[in-house]
Each structure stands twice: as C-alpha cells, then as structure tokens.
Amino acid sequence: MNWIFFALAGSVAQLIDGTLGMGFGLTSSTLLLTLGASAAVASAAVHAAEIGTTLVSGASHWHAENIDKKILFKLAIPGGIGALLGATFLSSIDLSSAKVFISTLLLLLGFLLLYRNIFQPQVNTNSLEVTNPRFLTYLGFTGGFVDASGGGGWGPIVTPTLMTTTQIEPRKIIGTVSASEFIVAVSASVGFLANLHRLDINWAAVGGLALGGCLMAPIAARIVVKLPRKQIGILVGIAVIVINGYRIIAS
C-alpha cells in the first residue's frame, strides 16, 4: 500500500524536521521527485501535507515551550507572503542558478555554525535584541519564497541563519521556525489552488506524508527539549552542510 510507504517517509522527515528545524520539505519533495513527480506537483503535494504536520508540530512545540512569541509572527507573515508568490509563479520561473547561490551561502552558514558551537563559548541568553525586525521580515519572505518555489527551504534557510546571527536558545529557534511554517504551508497551498486542475497530485502520498508527520511531531518536539543547545547547534550545522553540499553537487 503506497500510503504506508509515504507514512513511514513522513515520520522520518518529521523526526528530522522537528528536532533540527528543517528537513520535512526537502526530504519529502526529494522522494516525490525521485518517483517521477514534477517540481510543481512535488511542491504542491508537500505543502498540502505540511498543513497538517506543521499545525501539529507547532502545537507540540508550543506545549513544550519551545516557541519565542516575539518573533513567531514577524517570521510567519512575510514567510506566508513569500510562499504565496513562490507558489503562484513556480510554473513560470527558473530558480536553478539561484538555488546554487543560496546553497553556497547556506553551506558557509553551516560551517560557521559548527565553528561557533565547537570553538566559541556559549552565551546563555534568549534575548532577541541583536536581531533587527526588518531582517526578520526579509528572512521570512526569502525563506517562504524559496520554500514554495523549490518544494523545501523554509527550515534550511531560516533555522541556521537565526542560529548564526542571534544568541536565541536553539530549541526556541527550532520550535518557532516549525510553528511559523504552518502559515507558510497554508499560503503556498493557496497559491497552488489556481493551478490545481493542471497538477496530477498523488493524494495517497499527501495523506501518507501528513499522517506520518502528525504522529511523529509530538515526539520530535519533546526530543528537542532534552538535547543540549551545543549538540543541537552541531547537528544543525552538519545537516546544513550535508543538505547544501548535496544540492550543489547535484546541480
């Protein structure tokens, strides 16, 4: 049964996403593209599934007190606008060269994140004073646009950027990014609605990914609470390097 296979894939993707703040969209869209789906179909299916997974994930992180309410909507609203535009124009734009540029920047962020967590002393603060609200707006919009147009990118862009530019506790960053992704997923799905009649979406894949992700989300949110901040930073740095190194090589 196809939906069981996708449910297992959704569980693994959400475990990665819920504990590292990235990975569901990239893992799921890569799977769908490997199975022969077009970029638009894969992105539409993943974001439809993410409506359920990000809602449960956001609620789980909220319950586990992993969310910084100061930045939640400052990221989510511009992220939603960027996702809506990215989904709307996906069929008429070519982001292949831009993806290489973005992946290169993120690769450098990954190495910076590793250096910061391995060699620099940790600062125990949750303050957001070092972050400009305009920067959050730009970051949210960019993450949302790339996420919708590429089938994944919200977490890989927003999570490591916040970890390398702020001293916010890593679990708070991961929880906030995961919760705000619900707005991004809904906005991207709205953007795809206009072309829904032209997209041959595998709804068994959507249902399976959503089911597996929803079941795993509460577990992932609890795992983040238990992981030390330094270990989270190192894991995220490694994940960013692997993901974007693969993207650059594949391109």
Angle CA(114)–CA(217)–CA(225) in degrees, nearest 5?
Answer: 50
- Write out the two tokens for 26: 């990239």
- Write out the two tokens for 175: 């929880």
Other C-beta atoms lying within 10 Å of the C-beta of residue 249: 8
Confidence band, pLDDT 50/70/90 cuts, at residue 129: very low
The predicted-structure confidence for 59-116, as pLDDT tens digits, reads as follows 999 999 999 988 999 999 999 999 998 888 765 555 555 667 777 877 888 888 888 7
Q: What is the CA radius of gyration of the chain?
A: 17
- What is the domain partition of the chain in residue ranges? 2-250
Q: What mean pLDDT do residues 183-201 have? A: 79
Give the DSSP letter of residue 129.
T
Residue 131 confidence (pLDDT): 62
Map tokens 């919200």 to a residue.
Answer: 154
How far is 171 from 163, CA to CA, in rounded Å? 10
Give the DSSP letter of residue 169.
-
pTM above 0.85, yes or no: no
Q: Exposed, middle or buried by CB within 10 Å (0-12, 13-18, 19+), for 65?
A: exposed
The answer to whether the CB of 183 falls within 8 A of the CB of 79 is: yes
Residue 145's contacts (CB-CB under 8 Å, 6 or more residues apart) are 82, 83, 85, 86
Residue 126 confidence (pLDDT): 44
- Write out the two tokens for 238: 């490694």
Confidence band, pLDDT 50/70/90 cuts, at residue 55: very high
Q: What mean pLDDT do residues 225-243 have? A: 85
Confidence band, pLDDT 50/70/90 cuts, at residue 130: very low
